[in-house]
Chains A and B, each alone.
Chain A
Amino acid sequence: MVSGRRIFADFKVFSRGFLRNKFGLFFGLIFPVILILLFGAIFSGGSSGTLYVYAQNRDNGSNGYSLSTTYLEAINKTETLQVITLENSVNFTTYMSQNSIENGLTIPEDFTVRYTTYQPVNVTVYTNPSGSTGGTVLGIIGAINNRFNLGAFNGSTLISITQQNVGSQESYIDFLVPGLIGFAILVNPMFSLVEISSQYKKNKLFKQLSLTPLTKIEWLTAKILWYIVLSSMSFLLMAAVGIFAFGANINLTVWLIPFLILGPMLFASLGMLVGTVTKNPETAGVIGNVVTFPMMFLSGTLFPIAFMPEYLQTFAHVLPLYYIVEGLNNVMVYQNYMAAVIDIAVIAILTLVVLVLAVKLFKWRED
């Protein structure tokens, strides 16, 4: 018979031990926040996606007038591209390769003359085929060229663009918060239970506990409860940092509760399963890493899985964490609760299977 008193007693001892261990506390609560600060700063901070284009303006102008200056200003005004002008004495291609510059632009000597006399003229755009920014640079310069072409003939724009966002206005930080919450839900219970269940087995602590009325289900329940508490604290911290430090636009509802309960349950059980079926703490650690690391990075934690090649996306679907991160995204970013229900169902079934397996295979005493 399961006893709440015994679960609470074990919970008390375990949580106290956890809180007294500065290392555990750091990885449990502080580390995920550092990750959010770090990735938040890298991807949504000051750089705001500005691309630098190195330009050499060889235009001689015409009667003291230089169209190329206006042209380069127009490029700067896009705010996506920023022009850095090089002296004409510099050998452009040598400079580009020596300084590992990805994007460049040269304007020919007769630029103004030919434009003002309605003759075709060519600017040269240099891009690095292996880089990811070339397309953007070509596209923007092409658009600027069209504007100048229309301007030359006093033409007007017929087709224009109005921008509309799909759903709410998502930015990278909006994905990062649920992703890293998923990360914390995975890492804390998983690593901890792999370690303690293999360590307790080795130093015979399980054997000792089997001499008390505490049952293995009560023991595991106490651990799960603690990791639900820890994951919830971690969630609140990360959501606060996301919202207040980066202005994340995330939705906080009761729909998050199933994830904060089932997630720690699933990974605590999985950790215990790994610790139980392996022979010693060393093997347990290795197997634990093999199970955990792919999930840490390939489940949409640090970036949406749509960024990954197709075979990795397929692989992501077998990772339990994928459904938690996807579910958290569905709730927090898209507010798509119907989809979240499916994620919750998948997680619930997985949790049940892993939990039953872990409890069945886990031995208090030997025979």
Chain B
Amino acid sequence: MLPIEVSKLQKNYGTLKAVDGIYFNVKEGEVFGLLGPNGAGKTTTIEIMEGLRARDGGDVEVLGLDPWKKGYDLHKKIGVIPQEFTFIEKTTPREAIVYYADLFNVKVNPDEILKDVLLEESAKTYFEDLSGGQKRKTGLALSLVNTPELLFLDEPTTGLDPNARRAIWDVIRGLKAKGKTIILTTHYLDEAQQLCDRVAIMDHGHIVALGTTEEIIQKHGSGERLEIHGSEKLAEYIRANTELLVDYNKARGEILIPLKKKIDALAALAAAEQSGMDWGQIQTRQDSLDDVFVKLVSEPLGEQGEVAIENSGKKKRRR
């Protein structure tokens, strides 16, 4: 049994298909990322897995339980930080941990948990006076009180400054090292690349790519290409004198040549030299996760928090 098994999952809000028949599994000890632009259906998917939302179709098993029907049992085994975690204002992180321990009827050492999430200095500060990063860490601390096997982190770093984000990443790496299975949503590509063993890229309720970031780049990226700074005339010359596919980017003054074999680069450069025309910088490049993401997803990434599902359900043309 895998910690998470999702098949044909569907959720509609009115006529909008927020989640439209997706499949994926999460393996034990894995950090799995749900990546996608705002409104892609990440939060809906994660909330269905947490047992916070009912689904309209498909099967979901989390630790062998149906999260909606067996939510009460499931919640004792999982840890969750909802998006934009908040807590009772006049309560300190330490008191919050003791409160959760009482609710879960477990004995914990609050100081140890505070140490795990790098929050020792703020143990006695009221929640309302904590910084954004410290608030998120409090959420992480609370999600650990019941020593869960499985953690759900919904946009754990959205809206935080770079230092706070890195601090949260350290905490998440620490949890992974302890063997926890973690599923997180994010719309930061670097976060997914830094933390996740595997990612699923979601767009308009569909999973458009699934695998390790390398696999996704290989499968959906364009492969290696040669880029030569030069004129359009030079591009035409190379096209005429080699068997290569030659593309020209007018805006950047760049000749683009996809390389099937590495040796193709030599042929292209030989032709360029032969032409007698001027050419500048040369380099070979591969698509990054960013490039792949932009190709796969119909909307560019925004820096704002997740916006409620506001797009039409129709899938837009991929770029």
Interface residues of A (CB under 8 A from B): 5-6, 8-10, 12-14, 16-17, 20-21, 203-205, 207-208, 210-214, 365-367
**What's the Cα separation between A20 and B84 when bound, in Å?**
24
CB distance from B57 to the nearest CB of A (A): 14
**What's the Cα separation between A300 and B78 when bound, in Å?**
52
In the complex, chain B residues whose CB is within 8 Å of the CB of A21: 90
Check if B102 sits within 8 Å of A367, measured CB to CB: no
CB distance from B46 to the nearest CB of A (A): 12
Check if A16 sits within 8 Å of B90, measured CB to CB: yes
Nearest residue, chain B, Cβ from A19: B90
In the complex, chain A residues whose CB is within 8 Å of the CB of B99: 9-10, 12-13
Chain A CB count within 10 A is highest, among B78, B83, B103, for B103
Which listed residue (B54, B84, B91, B100) contacts A16, Cβ 8 A? B91
Check if B105 sits within 8 Å of A213, measured CB to CB: yes
Which listed residue (A5, A10, A204) contacts B84, Cβ 8 A? A204
Interface positions of B from 97 to 114, Cβ below 8 Å from A: 99-100, 102-105
**What's the Cα separation between A204 and B88 when bound, in Å?**
11
**What's the Cα separation between A63 and B14 when bound, in Å?**
103
CB distance from A364 to the nearest CB of B (A): 9
Q: Would A5 and B91 be within 8 Å (CB), given that A208-B82, A213-B76, A365-B71 are in contact?
A: no
Interface string of B65-94 (1 = CB under 8 A from A): 000000110011010101111111111000
Check if A365 sits within 8 Å of B76, measured CB to CB: no
Which listed residue (B52, B84, B90) contacts A211, Cβ 8 A? B52
**Chain B contact residues: helix, strand, loop or mixed:** loop
**What's the Cα separation between A365 and B53 when bound, in Å?**
7
Check if B105 sits within 8 Å of A208, measured CB to CB: no
Interface string of B119-131 (1 = CB under 8 A from A): 0000000100000
Check if B86 sits within 8 Å of A204, measured CB to CB: yes
Which listed residue (A5, A9, A211, A213) contacts B80, Cβ 8 A? A211
Q: Would A17 and B88 be within 8 Å (CB), given that A212-B100, A213-B105 are in contact?
A: yes
In the complex, chain B residues whose CB is within 8 Å of the CB of A366: 52-53
In the complex, chain A residues whose CB is within 8 Å of the CB of B86: 203-205, 208
CB distance from B19 to the nearest CB of A (A): 14
Asked if B247 CB lies within 8 Å of chain A CBs, one says: no
**What's the Cα separation between A14 and B89 when bound, in Å?**
10
The 4 closest A-B pairs by CB, nearest first: A9-B102, A367-B54, A20-B90, A17-B90
**What's the Cα separation between A250 and B126 when bound, in Å?**
43
Asked if B95 CB lies within 8 Å of chain A CBs, one says: yes
Check if A204 sits within 8 Å of B91, measured CB to CB: no
**What's the Cα separation between A212 and B74 when bound, in Å?**
10
Asked if B155 CB lies within 8 Å of chain A CBs, one says: no
**What's the Cα separation between A21 and B78 when bound, in Å?**
33
What are 15 A-to-B residue pairs whose CB atoms are below 8 Å?
Answer: A9-B103, A12-B102, A13-B95, A20-B90, A204-B83, A205-B88, A210-B75, A211-B52, A211-B75, A212-B100, A213-B72, A213-B75, A213-B76, A213-B103, A365-B52
Chain B CB count within 10 A is highest, among A6, A10, A365, for A365
Asked if B306 CB lies within 8 Å of chain A CBs, one says: no
CB distance from B98 to the nearest CB of A (A): 8
Which listed residue (B53, B90, B96) contacts A367, Cβ 8 A? B53
Asked if B50 CB lies within 8 Å of chain A CBs, one says: yes
Interface positions of B from 32 to 59, Cβ below 8 Å from A: 50-54
Which listed residue (B51, B85, B91, B105) contacts A13, Cβ 8 A? B91
CB distance from B107 to the nearest CB of A (A): 13
Interface positions of B from 268 to 295, Cβ below 8 Å from A: none
**What's the Cα separation between A178 and B57 when bound, in Å?**
58
CB distance from B47 to the nearest CB of A (A): 8
Chain B CB count within 10 A is highest, among A203, A204, A211, A212, for A211
